[in-house]
Amino acid sequence: SQQGEEDPQALSIQEGENATMNCSYKTSINNLQWYRQNSGRGLVHLILIRSNEREKHSGRLRVTLDTSKKSSSLLITASRAADTASYFCATAPYSGAGSYQLTFGKGTKLSVIP
Amino acid sequence: NAGVTQTPKFRVLKTGQSMTLLCAQDMNHEYMYWYRQDPGMGLRLIHYSVGEGTTAKGEVPDGYNVSRLKKQNFLLGLESAAPSQTSVYFCASSYPVNLLALREQYFGPGTRLTVT
């Protein structure tokens, strides 16, 4: 079953613009993680935000988390052609419940046009 | 460090054949996972392991078996391949939970499997 659902499914922007992707989820989480996947490659971890955090930055990435709305957003500022990839959110439950599974959404496909 | 490696990179099987996918990691991670990725479906967990000698079922385990005889290796087996198992398979590994929190996963490059 899908826990995280990204929105939009696809996004096309010009180089230099900002890109915003959203993720919604259904059940309580311990943390939420964002991953990037370049075409034909494995996923690469970008950033992890805990349930008691509201915002986190890493370079040109900014992630927000609103647990009351069960949603998160990933902002990429000043995008580059090299940012072209699919971006996935993944939710992590409290593992004390015996669950060791991240649940991934279906991803947002970002195209940055030079 | 090679990170997470997968063997083979590509494979074509006929229906009913068997094969084993090998995942190896050199980061001394406790946890290892097998996922499949299909168009429009995202990643779905097949099986996972939280330590040497242990395995558990994920979301879509039917038709697959796994073994974790060594900490650094996690094998995924298909005993009798079916066309529905055509997919891209990813292995991942991670450190164990910290304060009850799952940590980030490190992924291999994937194995593209076609069953005809």
pLDDT in tens, B45-59: 999 999 999 999 999
Neighbours of A74 (CB within 10 A): 25
Q: Is A71 on the interface with B (CB under 8 A)?
A: no
> Is there a contact between B109 and A41 if contact means CB atoms under 8 Å apart?
yes
How many residue pairs bridge chain A and chain B with CB atoms within 8 Å of each other? 66
Provide mean pLDDT across the span A26-55.
Answer: 94
d(CA A6, CA A106) in angstroms, rounded, equals 7
Q: Within 10 A of B82 (CB to CB), how many other CB atoms are there?
A: 12
Q: Answer whether B64's CB lies under 8 Å from B76's CB.
A: yes
Among A38, A100, A106, which would you mutate to test the B interface (most chain B Cβ atoms within 10 Å of its Cβ)? A100
* Ranges of chain B whose pLDDT falls below 50: none
Summarize pLDDT for A88-106 with one digit per residue, the tens. 999 988 766 567 788 999 9
pLDDT beyond 50 at A1: no
Report the pLDDT value the prediction gives residue A98, as an integer from 0 to 100. 61
- Asked if B50's CB is within 8 angstroms of A30's CB, the reply is no
Rounded to whole angstroms, the Cα distance separating A62 from A78 reads 12
Would an 8 Å CB–CB cutoff place A63 in contact with chain B? no
Q: What is residue A41's DSSP assignment?
A: S
> Residue A40 burial by CB count (10 A; 0-12/13-18/19+): exposed, middle or buried?
exposed
Give the closest-approach CA distance of B95 to chain A in angstroms: 12
Residue A3 pLDDT exceeds 70: no
Show residues of chain B in contact with A107, CB under 8 Å: 42
Interface residue B106 vs chain A (CB under 8 A): yes
DSSP bridge partners of B24? B5, B73
- Say how far apart CA A55 and CA A53 lie, in whole Å: 6
Query: Which CA distances in Å does B4 have to A57, A67, B20, B58, B91?
Result: 26, 33, 17, 20, 8
Q: What is the dihedral of CA B23, A43, B102, B78, to 10 degrees?
A: -40
Cα separation, B71 vs A2, whole angstroms: 29
| CB contact B63 to A (< 8 Å) | no
